[in-house]
Amino acid sequence: MDRKLAFHVTDDCDNMLAQRFLRDKCGLSARMITRLKREKNGILMDGKILRTIDYVQSGKNVEIHLPNEKSEIEPVEGKLNIVFEDDDFLIVDKPPFMPVHPVKQHQNDTLANIVSYYCKTRGEEFTFRAINRLDKDTSGLVIIAKNRFCANSLKNKTHKIYYALCEGNIDKSGTVNAPIALQENSKMVRTVQSNGMPSVTHYKPLISNNKFSLLELWLETGRTHQIRCHMSYLGHTLIGDDLYGGSLKIMSRQALHCGEVNFVHPVTKNFIKVKAELPIDMKKVIKQNINRDIY
């Protein structure tokens, strides 16, 4: 997808080396700068070629021309619940039971396949880059960057809020600060281990009874299965999470939903805040077992 970005040279950047301006002020990686140098009119200043050894001048505009990209993912028609879109991002509310990326067992029934189809019908094409990755059975918001610049700029700079239905009564907010590692003899299950990666999960109960609790959670770290592992560690496994000891009697998947994402847009600098309400299956459990309607 053809995309041009402009950066104004302010007085404090006058006579700054272009290489430094592109890295420090534009947020371009060394790899991207190298790639742009190979592109025709990849880096310009007021319409003229700007070399990395040149100096930028205050009052002028530096323009980068992001190269077109091809999607290598098979386009497959499907329903796409779009909650936000502009020239740089696509944010969708992913249903449960849908993988984000194609894998060996799922080649053409993923979110990436449907996004590829959606974009091609609009005459757009870009490499699928999901900023946050949800498990197949986890529902909720997925941020997709339409170009490499925005993907790199947003790395580790998004705030996400999750909602989970857990077994047992949790009536106080808390924090789990416990390292997570891959369980021995498993390629998937994570456990709390002293030699694991630092992992911090904050949680707040919204509603609860003696059997179940609806929690709001946010993470300081983004380990694989972090919420699922930490809640199991506390003795409050997610409903439907049989991988971590939960029961499948009430739900056939882990009751976990990414319900809010927010970030500062790397191009417009606007604050973006997007929400997605709880899916039907989680609402149904809350209604039937906690006797509450929630939206």
Give me the pLDDT at residue 106, please.
82
Model confidence pLDDT, tens digit, residues 181-195: 999 888 899 999 999
Phi-psi region of 41 (alpha: psi -120 to 50; beta: other; left: phi over 0): left
Active site residue 87: no
Output the pTM of the full model: 0.90
The active-site residue, picked from 12, 14, 88, 135, is: 135
Taking CA 50 as the corner, what is the angle to CA 155 and CA 35, rounded to the nearest 5 degrees?
45
> Is a pLDDT exceeding 60 seen at residue 295?
no
Give me the pLDDT at residue 12, please.
94
Pick from 31-40, 146-155, 257-266 the range whose average pLDDT is largest: 257-266
Q: What is the mean pLDDT of the segment spanning 244-272?
A: 94
> Is a pLDDT exceeding 70 seen at residue 251?
yes
Confidence band of 294 (pLDDT split at 50, 70, 90): low
Per DSSP (E only), the strands in 67-193 are 82-85, 89-94, 129-130, 139-145, 159-167, 174-177, 180-182, 190-192
